Structure 1
Amino acid sequence: MGNASTQLKVNIGKQSVAGKKAINEDATLYRIPQSDCVLANKGICCALADGVSTAEAGKQASETAVKRFVDDYYLSPDTWSVAHCGEKILSATNLSLFKKSHAYTSEQKGFLCTFVGLVLKSQLGHFFHIGDSRIYRLVNNELTQLTRDHNAFVGEGKSYLTRALGMDNNLHVDYGKINLSPGELYLLSSDGVHDFISSELMLSVLEQPISCQQKAENLVKLALAQGSDDNLSCIVIEIESVANESIDDFNAKLTRLPFPPPLEKGMKLDGFRILKELFASSRSQLYLVEDLSSGEQLVMKTPSVNFIDDNHYIDRFIQEEWIGKRLASDRIVKVYSQNRPRTCLYYLMEHVEGVGLDVWMKKNPLPSPKTAIEIVKQIAQGLADFHEKETIHQDLKPANIIIDDRHNIKIVDFGSTFVAGTAEIFNPIEHEGALGTATYSDPQCLLGKNTGVQGDLYALTTIAYEIFTGHLPYGDSVEECKNVFDYDRLRYIQASYHNPVIPIWFDKALEKGVQINPEKRYKTLAALLTDLTKPNPRFLLDVPETTQEKSRARFWLVLSAIWVLMFLLVIVLFKS
């Protein structure tokens, strides 16, 4: 028999001050879940970041790092290991900061910070480390530094950081795990604290019979007294009790949930009643369900038993839930966090009233320009929210957009999404249908090249063309393309051919948005929307060469006729 306590319990205190500097570029954050279910499934998360002083946006970088780490950790699927969660979250955050850093021309400016994170779950502590912030462990009167500073020394006591969040597009994270024991202490600190306090002094403060909050405050005061000239931050954690359950048994439950059985109307699963099947394919099923405790109607997505032994498919399915929970947007279907334990693999989404945009377009051919452009702008807003989280939809098509009676839309289906920073190499999804059809997908993606944001822009422009014309920009022949030579033979069909009221500047914007060559395509969503909503003067001046030649010929013809008339007039006057 184990201890009476069956759950992890801790005491935490933190302190962060600017010190002698004008601005505090450090950031600290921790979260202790109130729900017993979340505490058991996810544990307790702590994070500390130190903005690099030579970087212009160190403060923004450190605040972004700790917030994304803690927020995204609790949004990640329970079926992911802590190590997998941390590495995915930090990789995505790093790439986001790296891109922001490169918005500056000077190499000394950007979004850079060091980072340490500690996740306490069941009977284990998991730590993540980048830079020269540190994590210490105090047990049995012995203080041990768990992390190794990522510094290079250049002589005369000088050193420089070799790793930081936002420094490089490829991130190397130090990860480790340790067994937790009641009574031990953990300290997360920035260099403004640990560089100015000896191990002996640090130990004397941590061993005092005072609260963790008082210990954190005293460490900062001591570092200031010792001459610290930097920002000062620390988090002190005391382990009061640990979970009884074996960590191996616990992780086995979470990381390999079984597939649910075939579900039918009236059946119950984990407190949900199945109301009806909404959709079924060879890859997944969607059910309308009722939460028996709240009466709320939700949509349950379950994996297909066709892929029960396909680890690639299972990983993608699990990732869908995480992606959906990260994307908070009025234009994207909401994915809910689970408040009750799951007995099998599925996830829950909001129930959106409406029909697919493909169905709507058939019922509403050639809608008014005002209605059509509002729909396009809403889809663009949804995509912008995807891209803000470094996420590419990759399967945007009318069937994956739900529209209601008021013309409000929501983007659905995360099965083909790509999260930058979480995959080392891009590969098109191996399973049939994962990237949609050639009708809307970027030809470059279908040929094995990741065009990122531009792929979603191609799909959006294709949808916009179809809403305004009822047709596709390259006709139905695009679906028959198999290789680069097939795509080279495609020719854009002027939108005005199908809908004569479309102005030339709007047509030119559509044409640019669906260029097969990404170099000729829009680079940003904002640029595309600007040209779709305001006449671009360059498009009005960009008259095709054949038209120019005809204009020249017409000009010389008219001019010649004038000369002939003048010559005849001169003859008549001369004879008279």
Structure 2
Amino acid sequence: GLGRANLTLGARLCAPRPSCYPCCAMTRLDHKLRCEIGFVSERGRRPDNQDFGATRFGRPRVDSRADVVAVVADGVGGHAGGREAAELSVRAFLDGYFSLPGSLGAQQAAARSLDAINSWIVAQGRVDPERAGMATTFTALILSGRSGHYVHVGDSRLYRFREDTLEQLTEDHLMGRGDLKHMLRRAVGLEDSLRMDHASFPLRVLERYLLCSDGVHGAIGDRRLREILGRRAAPQQTAEDLVAAALDAGAADNCTALVVDILDTPPAEAGELRDFFGDLPILPPPEPGSILDDYLIGERISEGRYSRLMRAQDLRGGGQVAIKFPQPRVADDRTFRRAFVHEAFVASRVRSPWIVETIEQLPERQTRLYSVMPFYDGETLEQRLSREPPVSYAEGAQIATRIARAVAALHRARVIHRDIKPDNILLLKDGGLKLIDLGVARLPQLEDFPAEDIPGTPSYMAPELFAGAAGDEMSDLFALGVTIYRMFARSFPYGEIEPFMKPRFGRPTSLAARRPDLPAWLDAAIARAIAVDPLQRYGDVLEFAFEIENGAQRGGPAEPVRTSLYDKNPLIFWQALSALLVVLLAIALAWK
């Protein structure tokens, strides 16, 4: 038998070097399928080990597929050739699956490969008396792109551990009654026609999967499994802990555990997202207390012109989520669908602690247009500005640098947010921050919105946007500068701009005039970020963030700045000057 087998495969995410700027080190853009695997199998109290497990990483230039496949099989005890059936089925499945063309799809290739193995094992049992009755359970996890698949027969199991919730994905094929309740009713080699279970599901970063034989799950219950998986030790250590716990609990069978951690997934393709969102109907937002697609709808979180955000309970996976529904009859259907495609496109390509996530849904689960996000406990920056005390320099500088890191993460992926404002910045209770609402972002590879459908918030829009520009890194920088100005001053540097206005940008009101307690250098830094001429602004958002983080070393409290009448109000200046000239002219004429 295997005795003890330890195998760790995969690639860890590299640790950022100290010299890297934090927002760059913590953001992944080169997405590929990345995973880490731990494997342990112990004989236990049995005289030999009839379990067999293996993992194979496909190589595009060698195999037809670049997938990752993990398999656990448990030879049926009491029959000759149980171990042989387990090992043969695993090895032959891996060879067969990776030899089939990728055009077949993961499920079809897996089914075809396993069905051929079943036919061979059944035939061997008929012609060789020593192999009569040989059979095995079989559970395979297939990672293909952004999707996971399983094929399953018997009572070995596949679990998914996500956000502290343990979910059994496979069903045990047991008699379940009387003295035969532990006897298998399905296994590879039992019948001429193999009845296998298979399913697919989207993969999410940082979730983990467990494949195990009944020696593990039969000895320790779900509560203990959840506890060990929840420690978040490395996969190899977790597999060792699971098997050790099963043996300590008195497991009488072989014990095998294979743990798979998902570290990263490839980005979604634009066409794939268009096809998915393009077929979903747009309906009025549901009422609290209703159930939609196995989500129990809760209270309303916020409501805007284009969407409504509602809290919900996931009745399948557990946990709280936030669901964004479009508001019907506000914009053209194509505009709504484009916004949801954009949001999903960004979420699949930009992984950053400062950017909101989107939870991918199974196509068969989602019946209407909406997007699902994790529920974040906190408040928007706009809500923070509505209560006392005013934002201090220490608090504001921390918030400002985090917003800048979020925007920089988008810019590295060539994504322009185009609607940066306090309403779209979520301050978490644990001190974190999330930049939200990416539906109107300008993205590579995707067509842009028609000019009349780009919402934008006028008071935060750069001057060039009013002239018809589509938006770029400099316009995002301007919006960031206005957001930070308003965070400290609770007003706008150029005054509040109403929709459909064509504003004239003069000299902004000095931050020092509204908050003399703030450092002088901060006023100058923000003034440069919100300069009317894009060429006068910082080179990029990171340069602005660096200025905020390091400016405290160069300045103290701001000195009051005297502003001339001309700078305060040019119209009054020229009116006064004209009146003075009229008076002087009248005096001159009277004198003559």
Normalised to the residue count of structure 1, the TM-score between the two structures is: 0.48
Normalised to the residue count of structure 2, the TM-score between the two structures is: 0.47
